[in-house]
Structure 1
């Protein structure tokens, strides 16, 4: 695949990584609300990405009604104990949806399936035809979706091989941590926006930030990308 930059981006290019910015996590009446979710900043980052031609790679928690991690059913956990979470982000319900203003005008959702053609979706995002691609997942990491690995690798190559992945979303001590670590551990240049995340516990957030920093993730604030 030929490499190239999205129109309007500086060099090296950036890719925004929007982690689980969904109603059930980010809004006060959400089933599993993360207190202090900076929704206005999430909207600003989306607007900035669209205006500057910055591609967005995101994740969305996506469950069926009988997901194993819900406390409302007896579906066995694949390994270990069930976390017993309240039902949340059930696909097709209002809580599954992205927070208003955090989707670009042109986007795609990639299902959590073992195999599917992704070349066209990579080309669309790399050239700006599509502005955001969101991977459905059932556990914390973006890379839990089996299509994400190849997609991110191909996107990085299409953008010249060394883009900066800029991570934000919820929750810092769970899915944000997993996304940032997953990118850094695969050798991608990764930045986490500390004012554009929110976590479950203060201790959990501190531990997550220390862990990602030790893995080579740069910690900064949104002003570094918004100007």
Structure 2
């Protein structure tokens, strides 16, 4: 697989609260940072666009258990837990997309009313490559919406992790049925760090 100038690599929510020790830690999440850095290096070298999304929730967000939502409080705007993973090496020109900032609305997909679809179409993007967290929540929602928006959509399995194994397996089936290309990639043996 190789990137081109009409591609976009989208790194979803590689934030501290989703990694080891975080409020909503996902098993194995820390292990994908080097693989994502490798993908970022390859995308940048090829002139592809790099996008990174982040949950940026206000206190009392609708998704939090205290308001009847499915999740513990996480990625509160400006908190340590909302910061990107310490090992994530984003280029200076990466586009940062903030989502989940409306108190009463959740946004699993990076394309959900963020303007990203229009930005990518505007620069002639044809293919999108998704990685990050979590496979069975935000990666899933983003991939399905990307296909609906007309992008050739690839999900990099070696650079994502699900919240549950069953959820991950169901998501892979759903994405495949939707025409999304599931890239199994290399084993998690990369040690790529920030340059």
Normalising by the residue count of structure 2, what TM-score does the alignment of the two structures yield?
0.82
Query: Structure 2 residue aligned with 1:58, among 45, 52, 55?
Result: 52
Distance 1:220 1:173 in 2: 15
Instruction: Pick the structure with greater CA Rg.
Output: 1
Q: Is the 8 A contact 1:136 1:145 kept in 2?
A: no
* Aligned match of 1:5: none
Distance 1:211-1:103 versus aligned 2 partners, 3 A rule: same
Distance 1:84-1:213 versus aligned 2 partners, 3 A rule: closer
Distance 1:101-1:66 versus aligned 2 partners, 3 A rule: same
3-state secondary structure, aligned to 1:142: coil
Query: Structure 2 residue aligned with 1:216, among 165, 179, 185?
Result: 179
3-state secondary structure, aligned to 1:43: helix
Distance 2:146 2:65 in 1: 31
> RMSD between aligned alpha carbons?
2.1
* Aligned match of 1:171: 134
Deviations 1:119-143 (A, max 9, x none): xxxxxxxxxxx2x112111121112
Instruction: Tell me the number of residue pairs that the alignment of Structure 1 and Structure 2 aligns.
Output: 178
* Aligned match of 2:155: 192
Query: Structure 1 residue aligned with 2:122, among 143, 154, 160?
Result: 154
Normalising by the residue count of structure 1, what TM-score does the alignment of the two structures yield?
0.71
Task: Establish whether residue 144 from structure 1 lines up as the match of residue 112 from structure 2.
Answer: yes
